[in-house]
């Protein structure tokens, strides 16, 4: 326990930017903080802080140790929250960021259901396709599709998989023929997703690993997936879209899936939250709701 106390003091000093600020947060004297860090350094056999008369900054070893300790303390806090969640009422405001279309059609209906089950819960749902800074913008949780990149300090949980499919209207396929291979796609017209002036290639898992990519001919580029589905249903050409988005159109016969024998690319859907923030019961119940409900909605 003494070792854990020293680590928590060290993490506080690292996050506060010095011993004095950490002492104020911990309601300790500056010398007590300094001694706790010094004992930790002696035990580890490394210097964790560069010290001057006025400032303290992490050494390279200190930065590495801080990142590991931060994760470990986060796990401990999450374990405590897990025990508390069974005894606490779900209450308070939960701010969630999500992509516009996916959020409106898939995420929001599931989260809205929590309001009926938890009368003390409040939801602030924000729809936008840009990647928000959770801490700077005050979000508790974000839902993100695809690769997460290298966002440091974030905790994640995969809550669903988004399967991509190629489709077109029956009239277009009757006129232009049904593609039989990925290579055939290059000879077809298509409505493609485009952002920042760059059309997004279509990707398919390759047999030996990696991916086969192709960019069909296109005279129509859009930055909205629903508009692409509308264009495909109107006979403009092929479209590469999430299966959940075109499912009802396929059932009605407005769109037809092609290349059904070729598995589509799969994007992970993640719940993301700040690693420095305690996973409160309101956050856990929302993440669990998505992990349970989204896979069924996206089959």
Q: Domain limits of the chain?
A: 2-85, 92-159+267-297, 162-265
CATH fold match for the domains 2-85 and 92-159+267-297:
no
**Judging by beta carbons within 10 Å of its beta carbon (0-12, 13-18, 19+), is residue 43 exposed, middle or buried?**
exposed
Residues 6+ apart with CB under 8 A from 8: 73
What does pLDDT average to in each consecutive run of 10 residues of the chain (299 residues)?
74 88 88 91 92 86 88 71 63 92 94 93 92 85 82 83 94 95 90 87 82 86 94 95 93 95 85 79 92 87
The CATH architecture one would assign to domain 2-85 is Orthogonal Bundle (1.10)
> What is the per-residue pLDDT for 253?
95
Could you write out the DSSP letters of every residue in 235-268? Answer: TS-BEEEEHHHHHHHHHHTS-EEE-TTSPPPEEE
> If DSSP codes are grouped into helix, strand and coil, which group holds residue 171?
helix
- State the angle between helix axes of 281-297 and 108-117 in degrees (0 to 180), rounded to the nearest 10: 130
Q: Are strands 256-258 and 189-195 parallel, antiparallel or unpaired?
A: unpaired
The CA-to-CA distance between both ends of the chain, in Å, stands at 48
> What is the per-residue pLDDT for 270?
93
> What is the per-residue pLDDT for 2?
55
Q: How many residues does the chain have?
A: 299
Considering only the top CATH level, what class is 162-265?
alpha beta
CA pair distance 260, 18, nearest whole angstrom: 59
The structure's pTM equals 0.65
Tell me which residue of 81, 57, 94, 105 sits closest to 248, measured CA to CA: 105
CA pair distance 160, 102, nearest whole angstrom: 12
Q: Which two tokens stand for residue 198?
A: 């760059």
User: Distance of alpha carbon 104 from its chain centroid, rounded?
Assistant: 16
> If DSSP codes are grouped into helix, strand and coil, which group holds residue 54?
coil
The CATH architecture one would assign to domain 92-159+267-297 is 3-Layer(aba) Sandwich (3.40)
> What is the per-residue pLDDT for 48?
93
> What is the per-residue pLDDT for 49?
93
């Amino acid at each position: 326990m003494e070792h854990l106390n020293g680590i928590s003091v060290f993490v506080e000093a690292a996050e506060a930017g010095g011993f004095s600020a950490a002492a104020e947060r911990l309601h300790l004297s500056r010398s007590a903080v300094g001694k706790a860090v010094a004992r930790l350094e002696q035990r580890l056999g490394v210097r964790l802080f560069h010290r001057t008369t006025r400032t303290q900054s992490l050494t390279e070893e200190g930065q590495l140790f801080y990142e590991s300790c931060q994760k470990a303390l986060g796990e401990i806090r999450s374990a405590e929250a897990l025990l508390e969640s069974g005894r606490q009422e779900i209450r308070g405001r939960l701010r969630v960021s999500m992509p516009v279309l996916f959020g409106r059609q898939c995420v929001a209906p599931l989260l809205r259901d929590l309001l009926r089950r938890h009368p003390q819960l409040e939801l602030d749902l924000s729809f936008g396709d840009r990647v928000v800074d959770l801490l700077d913008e005050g979000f508790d949780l974000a839902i993100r599709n695809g690769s997460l990149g290298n966002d440091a300090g974030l905790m994640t949980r995969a809550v669903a998989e988004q399967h991509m499919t190629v489709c077109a209207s029956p009239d277009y396929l009757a006129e232009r023929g049904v593609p039989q291979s990925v290579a055939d796609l290059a000879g077809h017209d298509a409505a493609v997703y485009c952002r920042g002036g760059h059309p997004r290639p279509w990707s398919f898992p390759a047999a030996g690993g990696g991916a086969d990519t192709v960019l069909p001919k296109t005279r129509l580029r859009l930055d909205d997936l629903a508009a692409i589905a509308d264009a495909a249903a109107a006979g403009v050409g092929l479209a590469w879209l999430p299966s959940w988005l075109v499912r009802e159109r396929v059932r009605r016969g407005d769109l037809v899936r092609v290349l059904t024998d070729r598995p589509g690319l799969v994007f992970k859907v993640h719940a993301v939250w700040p690693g420095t923030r305690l996973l409160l019961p309101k956050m856990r119940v929302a993440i669990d709701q998505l992990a349970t409900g989204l896979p069924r909605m996206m089959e």
